[in-house]
Each structure stands twice: as C-alpha cells, then as structure tokens.
Structure 1
Amino acid sequence: MKRARLIYNPTSGREQVRKQLPFILERLENAGYETSAHATTGKDCAKRAAEKACQNKFDLIIAAGGDGTINEVVNGMAEMEVRPRLGIIPAGTTNDFARALHIPREVNEACEVLCNGRIQSVDIGKVETQYFINIAGGGTLTELTYEVPSRLKTMMGQVAYYVKGFEKLPRIKPSNVTIEYDGKWFEGEIMLFLVSNTNSVGGFEKLAPKAYLNDGLFDLLILKKTNLADVVRLVSAAMRGEHIKDESVIYVQASRIKVHSEQEMQLNLDGEYGGVLPGEFVNLHNHIEMIVPDKDLACFQRLY
C-alpha cells in the first residue's frame, strides 16, 4: 500500500481542512493510500514535516493550506535525495499556485484530483538558500502579502490585500536596481520586479501570460519608475493582460536572474517574507513531480 503524509495548516481557510480531516483521510485510504496527518504549529513547521516525510520515503506529500504552506513544504522537499510526489488541497486566501493548476478549492474536489489526477513534473525556483514554486519579487507592492494580518485575511479574504494596497499606494517609492537576466542587463529605478513561474500572481491570472510551469524559464516582469496614477492604470490593465504592452513594463523570459538594489529591498517568496536582496534566481527544471487535474492545462507547455 502506498503511503501519504498530509501536512496541513489548521487555521487556513476558516479551518476547512481541520473540519474535514476525517473525510480527507477516508478518501485517500479508499484510493489506496495509508495516510497520516501533521498539523502545523508555526513557522517552518511544514518545512520540517516535509523533510521528515522525504526521509521516511513516503510516496505522496499533500500540502493543505495557503501559498505559504505550499512554499514551506517545497522548501522541505527541494534538497532531499528522495522526493515524493506533491499534491495540494488549497485552503488559503488567494491560492495563487492552486489557481494556476486549476485545483478546486472545495476539499472533496481537490481530493478527487489527488486520487484521480495525472503526474506532471514542474519547475521550482531557487534564490540563494531558499526555494519558491510560484512567485518571487521585490518592491513596495510585493510586501502586501506578508503585511496583511492573518486574522484580517481570515475575515475578509482577498479583499484584505486590496485594502492594504490602497493604504500603501501613496507611500510607494522607486528603488535603484541592477538586474541581469541570461546575459542581458537592466539598470535604473523600478517600482517592483516579479520572477514568476506561473500566470497566477496575487489574484491576477494574466500578470505573466506566457508563463509555463515546465519550460525551464521564469517570466520576469519589471515595472519601471512611474507615478501613482500610472500604477493605478497599470493595475487595471493587468487584469486584462494588457500591461505587458506598456512602455513602463519590461516582460522577458530567463532561466537565471540576478538582482541588486542600492536601497534595502525585501524579497517576497510565494507571498512570504524571504529576507533582503541581493539575490540570484535559478530555475530548477522539472525538479518536483506533482499530481494535477487530468486535463490539458494552460500552465504547462506541451512537449509533443
């Protein structure tokens, strides 16, 4: 019998995973998995649990929670010699990564994907000693995801980010950076940069429209120095995927990216605080195997 380890955040998504834990375990048992569960208790708990699951040679690790929980699990798996397959039960506020994979938020439907989905290799990103699977970035606007209190996220959902965003808009300041990407250079003042692995970022599903999870490339988006009115206009354009045509935006693909900032710039990794720059972002091609819906997905490049 195959073995699965469920690593879940008991407070995510109005505690829906905790409340439906008996159903999840029974559904996985019926699918042929001897399943055990681990409830996280704080920072890096999911990372340590994932490391232990790899060491114990589980067949499947399931990250149940938000993007932060998935990030910790990926960080726990990334350097292990034996890496089980990864599955997801989305239970966070924005669920960017799960949205890119079209994994449903409903627990019973997410379990159907785990039990009847297909196996797909995916890229992950590495920056110095840390890993990310969906997005990395820097700049004032990228700090929103870890500045919104967890209680406010639970109460208001994704609206909490917009509330915090409007608070920060008047205080957005450019940073002077040097960005090298696959031998090319950008130097100048920027409002933010994003290193994306999927098209789903911060609730926007067209922010990196050319992104694939299995092509060995990041999608790099740089917003050059601009005024507040243009920032608001570009946010609106990003909802339609039209921002990449704007002269204030650089949108390219690269497998290796180096960023240096003259001012202190915090790093955001999958919505969590990742320290400060400088940093070098490296794409680890097809590093982890995942269980995804058994259908054609726009986030994967067809290799046939």
Structure 2
Amino acid sequence: MKRAAIIYNEHAGQANDHLSIEQIKAQIESHSFQLKLCPTSKPGDGERIAKEVGKDVDTLFIFGGDGTVHECINGVPSLQSRPNLAVLPGGTCNDFARTLGISMNLEEAIDQVCTGTTKTVDVPKMNDRYFLNFFAVGLIADTSENINEELKATIGRLSYFWSALQTVTNPTHYTYTLTSDDLHLTGEAVMILVSNGNYIGSIGLPAQHELDDGYLNVYIVKEGGLSLVSAWKEAKLNDQFDENENNLIHHQLKHLTLHVEPEGNVDIDGEDGGKTPVTITLGDKVTFCIPSESQ
C-alpha cells in the first residue's frame, strides 16, 4: 500500500461535485493507497499540516480551491523528503488544477492523479511566500477586494467576472519600476501580472506557459477596457504577442524586483499577499501528479 494523506477544506465550493470525504477516501484507496484524512479548520492549517505529514507520505492529496493549494505549497519546500502532490478540484475556479490538465469532475480527477504520471513544476517565491498560479498588482488584486462574498457563494466564479468588469471600467493607474538583470522598465500600468499557471478566474491567459521552463511570465497592462480585451484576445488567438502592441507587454524573466506608486495591494493565488515592493524569484521545484496522455 502506498502511503498518502489528503488535506481538505470542508468548506470549499465543490460546485460540480457532491462526493463526501468518505467517498473520496474510498475511491483513492481503491488505487492501493492507505489514506490519512487531514481536515483544515482555519487559515494556515494547510501549510502547517503539509509540513507535519508531508515527510511521512509518498503522495499528498490537496482537495480544495486555489487558496487551499496555495497554503499547502508553502509547507512543502522546507521538507527534506517531499511527497508527490495531487490536486483535486474542490473550489470555485480551480485554476492550477486546470493548468495541470486535471478534470473538473471530481471522480475523474481522482482516477487521473492516481493512475497518471508526474511532472516537475517551478514554484515561484514572492519575498518569503511561495505561489503556484500567479502574482498580481492592479486589476486582479483590486478585483479580489471587490468580490461580493454572498454573490460568490451563489454563482461561483461568475462573481469574479462581474467584479472584474466593474473594476476594469475605472482602474487605478500605478507608476511602476521593474528591474531584472539588465532590464529596467518604468511607466504607468493598471496591472502587472506574474504568471506560473495558465488560468486566472478560469479564464485562459494569452499564452500557454511551460511549467518547468525556469522562467516567470510577466504581463504589463497599461490600460483596461476594450483595448485590453482586444489585445488579450489577439495574443491568445495567435499564441504570440504583437511587437507593436503597447497595451499588453510580455516578458519572460528568471527574477524581478517591483516597486509601484501608490503602494499596491498584492494578490498571490487569490490570497492577500500584503503590499509592494516585492522581489520574485523561482524559489523551488515540486512534483505533481498529472493525467497521462492517454487519459
């Protein structure tokens, strides 16, 4: 029997699935795992539990939303002996599970991660916090603050889109300074996004990023509104960026330091990341269970 544990948020959205944790446990154990249940009850539990149990198991399942995944990833890099990580979608958007190619159907997702293959993934680090999916200052961070929690509970990720639409019509403009090796950029922007995944709010990013290429994918958005939508769609359609497009700028960097004025709120993986300035590096690598090509 393979040793495993599952960290799960009992209050995650689970909008499309209604399996009990007992049913999830039974399905995982049918794949020759001996599974320990590790529920979270308050913020920070995911990181703490990952540190406590991660060293003693072969596979660490994470069932919940992107916030739960974010907490757990911060508990893994300190482990000398690290388990494979298996993400099971149980939240509102499940963006990193989407990036890994995992089904949004929970039963299918369990079979995929239990019988699939593995992939080593870059884990960026902002100051002293790791993240998997994205870092943002500007539109996305401001949007997260504007989400109506009652609406989110009712209609899920659509509330994120609605809040984004409200924000993008009147965005805050930030003066930024971004430095990396020989690169030194200054200007005004409504959003600076550093992406490691391919989805935000279940919306696909303009380009599909390799998860193990050793680069941070940096987007600088100078204006919101229709010009952003147009540039976003054009880049996504052509899978490349127009060199003459001034509103959506893209760089691949190994590290960066970012200052913005006024001081900006930071969003990492949909969670509060504090304030700028920040330094972002490729902090580590971890191994995730992913579907095989035949699944």
TM-score, L = length of structure 1: 0.88
Segments of structure 2 that go 5 or more residues without pairing to the other structure are none
Distance 1:91 1:50, change over 3 A: same
Question: Is the partner of 2:86 in helix, strand or coil?
Answer: strand
Number of the residue aligned with 2:116: 117
Question: Is the partner of 2:151 in helix, strand or coil?
Answer: helix
* Offset from partner CA, 1:38-72 (integer Å, 9 cap, x none): 222121111111111124x2111111111111100
Q: How does 1:1-304 map to 2 (within 5 A)?
A: 1-14=1-14, 19-55=19-55, 57-145=56-144, 147-207=146-206, 209-224=207-222, 226=223, 228-234=225-231, 237=234, 240=237, 244-245=241-242, 246-284=245-283, 287-295=285-293
Displacement of 1:17: 7.0
Quote the RMSD (CA, aligned, Å). Answer: 2.3
* Offset from partner CA, 1:218-256 (integer Å, 9 cap, x none): 1111112x3644345445556646783222121010110
8 Å Cα contact 2:228-2:248 kept in structure 1:
no
Question: Is the partner of 2:36 in helix, strand or coil?
Answer: strand
Corresponding letter in the other structure for 1:9: N
8 Å Cα contact 1:266-1:275 kept in structure 2:
yes
Question: Is the partner of 1:79 in helix, strand or coil?
Answer: coil
Matched residue count: 293
8 Å Cα contact 2:15-2:156 kept in structure 1:
no
8 Å Cα contact 2:65-2:90 kept in structure 1:
yes
8 Å Cα contact 2:177-2:187 kept in structure 1:
yes
Distance 1:14 1:227, change over 3 A: closer
8 Å Cα contact 1:210-1:219 kept in structure 2:
no
TM-score, L = length of structure 2: 0.91
Displacement of 1:165: 1.8
Displacement of 1:172: 0.9
Distance 1:40 1:143, change over 3 A: farther
8 Å Cα contact 1:141-1:172 kept in structure 2:
no
Corresponding letter in the other structure for 2:221: L
Corresponding letter in the other structure for 2:40: T
More displaced 10-residue stretch of structure 1: 12-21 or 92-101: 12-21
2: distance between equivalents of 1:255 and 1:293?
A: 28
Segments of structure 1 that go 5 or more residues without pairing to the other structure are 298-304
* Offset from partner CA, 1:240-277 (integer Å, 9 cap, x none): 46783222121010110110112110111111110011
Among the aligned pairs, what percent are the same residue? Answer: 27
Question: Is the partner of 2:13 in helix, strand or coil?
Answer: helix
* Offset from partner CA, 1:165-191 (integer Å, 9 cap, x none): 232234312101100134211101111
More displaced 10-residue stretch of structure 1: 234-243 or 102-111: 234-243
The answer to which structure has the higher helix fraction is: 1
